[in-house]
Amino acid sequence: MPCAHCQAVETTFGDRSAERRREQMHKRGLDRTTRWLIEDLEAQGVRGASVLDIGGGLGGIMLHLLEAGASSATLVEASSAFLKAARREADERGVSDRVAWLHGDFVELASDVMGADVVCLDRVICCYPDMPGLVGLSSARANRLYGLVLPRRAWWTRLGAWGINTIMWLSRNAFRVFIHRPEAVERIARRNGLEPVYRRRDSVWQVLVFRRVESVGVATPLGAG
């Protein structure tokens, strides 16, 4: 990740943002699309699985999968504030001894990150400029399941991204959002031996779950939602 973007992540997702998000999660629970992703991964079976949660923020997906029977998890997070808050969440839930914590840009750290049975990126691809690098390296580390939440590529999502980026530019914040082509994301995942087994969407977001071709799991119909 370009240094300016790394610094912008730390600034944009600092202590106040992490605490506010943590309070929201405790009051309202996880976002609907995050819950969808968890449900779809659990439908494929996660008991005994290792989890790699990239850009996981407070670790909501990782924590739920551990509570659902996953054996261990690694959280890679570029925001030190969110990583600290995620540690607090894991401590409070009594699962911190089953989690490895990595601070930084996953693409830069990838050579030192082991593969996992389940790899997930929830609203991460839209915050990263190098989509091919991020998706290529992360999908290659999915031993069985690969779960994503990313924006739909529609005029209203592109308009929203333009508005956010304009505000960031006016405030001299280097952080940007990106509406990458979902078909390009899927093409990279397929090249790495994964096939889509579940997808659903709302007006803004879409959830995609892939399974490694040679793995055996519970088949789930495509096109739900």
**pLDDT tens across the length of the chain (225 residues):** 455 666 778 777 877 877 888 888 888 889 999 999 999 999 999 999 999 999 999 999 999 999 999 999 999 999 999 999 999 999 999 999 999 999 999 999 999 999 999 999 999 999 999 999 999 999 999 999 999 999 999 999 999 999 999 999 998 888 999 999 999 999 999 999 999 999 999 999 999 999 998 754 444 444 444
Whichever domain contains 140, its CATH number is 3.40.50.150
Any residues with CB less than 8 A from the CB of 199 and at least 6 apart, and which?
206, 207, 208, 209, 222, 223, 224, 225
Q: CA-based angle 72:136:183, to the nearest 5? A: 115
Domain for residue 224, yes or no? no
Domain for residue 108, yes or no? yes
| Domain count of the fold of the chain | 1
The parent domain of residue 122 ranges over 3-212
Q: How many CB atoms lie within 10 A of CB 45?
A: 18
Domain for residue 24, yes or no? yes
DSSP single-letter state for residue 78: S
Q: What is the pLDDT of residue 13?
A: 82
Domain for residue 164, yes or no? yes
Domain for residue 177, yes or no? yes
Reference 65, options 115, 178, 215, 56; nearest CA is: 56
Q: What is the pLDDT of residue 223?
A: 47
Any residues with CB less than 8 A from the CB of 3 and at least 6 apart, and which?
none
